[in-house]
Amino acid sequence: MAQSDPNRKNILNTLLIVMIGQVGCLTLVVILGSVFLGLWLDNTFGTKPVITLVLLFAGIPLSVLLMLSVARRTLARLREQNENTQKENPV
């Protein structure tokens, strides 16, 4: 059992790093997408900063929802791996 504890900590650390990376990348994609789409729409309709600002403010809750979704998926994956490990190696 002493050897399985470091393995579980390594798996946990790896999943947390992956989750943080995914959240960071998704947030960056949402922000950049909002800026570029907003700038393009502002140029098209002649409403210089309005659409860009609206899309940026709309991107905030979208980023939060994506972050929660990624966190839930990662935690579900962690629970599943923990259950499988406990079934394979009963104490």
In a domain, 82, yes or no: no
The number of distinct structural domains making up the chain is 1
In a domain, 8, yes or no: no
State which H helix or E strand residue 7 sits in.
helix 4-45
Q: What is the arithmetic mean of pLDDT over 58-68?
A: 93
Nearest CA to 55 among 68, 39, 66? 39
Read off the pLDDT of residues 8-27 as tens digits, 9 standing for 90 and up: 788 788 888 988 998 999 99
Nearest CA to 36 among 6, 59, 17, 16? 59
Domain that holds residue 69: 27-77
At residue 1, the pLDDT reads 46
Say whether pLDDT at 2 is over 50.
Answer: no
In a domain, 87, yes or no: no
Nearest CA to 35 among 54, 19, 21? 54
In a domain, 60, yes or no: yes
In a domain, 55, yes or no: yes
In a domain, 6, yes or no: no
CB 12 within 8 A of CB 78: yes
CB 58 within 8 A of CB 79: no
Q: What is the arithmetic mean of pLDDT over 39-43?
A: 97
In a domain, 71, yes or no: yes
Please state the pTM of the whole predicted model: 0.79
